[in-house]
A and B are shown apart, each in its own frame.
Chain A
Amino acid sequence: MKTKIQVSDLKVHYGNIQALNGISFDVYENEILGIIGPAQSGKTTLLKVINRTLEFAQGTTVEGSVQLDGVDIYSIRDVHGLRRRIGMVLPLPVGLPLSIYDNVAFAPRTAGMRKKAELDEIVERCLQQAALWDEVKDRLDSLGTKLSGGQQQRLTIARALSHQPEILCLDEFSIAVDPITTMRIEDVLKTLKDEMTILLVTNLVQQAKRLANRTAFMLNGDLIEIDDTDVIFSDNPASQSTFDYITGNFG
C-alpha cells in the first residue's frame, strides 16, 4: 500500500501546553483511518497540522514532520494549494455568508474556475454526494446560513468535496446531523474512499468500527495504538486503555 501521509515525531505546543507528544504513524492511500479518543487527546490538533490551519492559532509551535506524498508540508510554499488538496469538515457547520450555490462553488472559483457549466456540474455532484441535492435543488440561490443545522453540515461536506481533495479530514462530522442522514453520508464516504484518503476523527467508536479500515486510538496527546479496525475492536487490542475506551469503561 502506498503511503499518503507520513507523520514523524510530531509535537505541538499551545504556549506551555503540549497537545501532541511526539506521535508517528502512516496513512495509506485510499483508506479510511478512524481516529478515536476522548476530548483533549489531540485529534483535532492533528488534523489542523495536516491542513496547516493551526498556523492561525497564535503561540503554537510544531516540531517533527508531516509528509504528504513524500514532501514535508511545512516546506510547501503554496499553502493555499496545499489546503485545496485537503478537504476539511469541522464539528459544527460554519455558514459562509453566501448562497448555497456560491458556498459550494467558492473553492473552485478561488482556484480560478470560471465556466458556469463546470461550476454547475461540480455544485450538483457535490450536493448529491453530501445527500443534500434533493432538498435544495430548487433554492440554490437562498442563503446557506438559513438552512437547518444538519443541512448546513451537509453543505459543509459538499463544500469540502468541491475542490476534489486528495485527502478528506472529517472532524466529528455527525455531531449536528441526524442518524438517518449520518448513515447516508457514511455510505457516501465508503464510495469516496476509492477516490481519496479519508481521516475520520470521531467520538462515536461504533462509527469508526463501521467505516474505518484502520483505527488509531489517541489519549492525552499520545498515540496509544494504531491497527486494523478489526484488531482494535477485538477483545485483544495491544493496549488495555484502548480496550477500556472502546468498551466504555472510560471516556
Chain B
Amino acid sequence: MKRSELIFQSIALITLAVAFILFWNFSKGVSFVENGTLFDATVTDSYSVLQENLNRMIPILLGAILFSVAIAFYLEEYLARTSWKYQIIARQIAILASIPSLLYGILGTYFFVFKTEFGSFFTHALTFVLLVLPITIQSTQRAIRGVDISVREAAYALGAKRRHVIVHHVFPHAFSTIMAGIFIAISRTLAISALIIVVYVWTEHTPQSGDPFHIPGSVIVLLLLSLLSSVLSSFLEAKTNWS
C-alpha cells in the first residue's frame, strides 16, 4: 500500500471515529438540553456545576482580559526591557505561566477556601485570574512585540505621542494576535475546568439514577462554546486584517 493511501485511510478512520463519538454524545446529550435543564442551575451534576462556573467566569474573564492587556502594554510600551522593573515583572509572569494549571486549582482550594474567609465568588475569581492572567499577558506581549518597529517609527515621525501610537497603530496591528492568545487561554481553562468538574462530580456525588451526570450535555455546551470561540476568533481576524 502506498504511503499516501495509508495516510488517507488513517485520516478517514479517525474522522469516522470522531464522528461516531460526536453522534453518540449528541444523541445522549440533546435530550438533556431539551428537557429544560439547560438553564436549571439547581441540578447537582457536572453540567450544572459547569453552568454555574460559566456564569461567574464571564464577568471575571472580561476583567482579567482588560487587566492583562493593560499590563502587557505597560510592560512593552512604557518600560525598557533592560529596566529592573521590566525584568522583575516579566520573570514573575513567566514563572506563573509555567506552573501546571492543576496546582492553581489546589492553591485555590487550599488557600482561598480553607485558609481565608472569602466567599465563593472571590474564590473563583482569584483562582481563575491567577490561572489565566500570566498566559494572556504573555500572549499579548508577544502580539505587541510582533508589531514591526517601522509602524511605530512611522507614527512617531509624524509627531504622534505615545498614546496615539498605542491606540491608533500598535493596538490595531496587534489586535487579532492578542485575541487569538486570549481565546487559546480561555479554551485551555475551559478544557481543564471540564476535566476537573467531571472528576469532582463523579467522586463527590452518589448517583441516584442511571445517568445523573449528564456528561454528554456538558460536552455539547463545551463544544458549542469552543465553536463560538473559533467563529468569533475568525470573525475578528477577518475584521482586523490590515494588510
Contact = CB atoms under 8 A, between A and B. Distances in A.
A139 interface: no
A203 B243 CA distance: 28
Contact of B152 (A56, A80, A159): A56
B150 A163 contact: no
Interface in B134-165: 148-161, 164
Contacts of A87: 157
B159 A95 contact: no
B172 interface: yes
Contact of B243 (A88, A110, A111, A145): A145
A82 to B, nearest CB: 8
Interface string B169-195: 100110000000000000000000000
A134 to B, nearest CB: 24
A98 B151 CA distance: 12
B157 A83 contact: yes
Q: Which of A51, A90, A96 has the most CB of B within 10 A?
A: A96
A56 B156 contact: yes
- Contact size range, A: 20 to 34
Contacts, number: 71
A58 B81 contact: yes
Contacts of A156: 154
Contacts of B157: 51, 53, 83, 86-88, 90, 160
A181 to B, nearest CB: 20
A107 interface: yes
A160 B168 CA distance: 17
Contacts of A90: 150, 153-154, 157
Given A58-B82, A83-B159, A107-B159, A145 B154 contact: no
Contact of B172 (A80, A84, A97): A97
B168 A84 contact: no
B106 interface: no
Q: Which of B154, B157, B172 has the most CB of A within 10 A?
A: B157
B158 A159 contact: yes
B30 interface: no
A145 B159 contact: no
Interface of B: 80-82, 148-161, 164, 168-169, 172-173, 242-243
Given A88-B157, A96-B168, 5 more contacts: A80-B160, A80-B161, A83-B158, A90-B153, A145-B243
12 contacts: A53-B156, A58-B82, A90-B150, A94-B153, A95-B243, A96-B155, A96-B168, A106-B155, A110-B161, A111-B159, A145-B242, A159-B158
Interface of A: 51, 53, 56, 58, 80-81, 83-84, 86-88, 90, 92, 94-98, 106-107, 110-111, 143, 145, 156, 159-160, 162-163
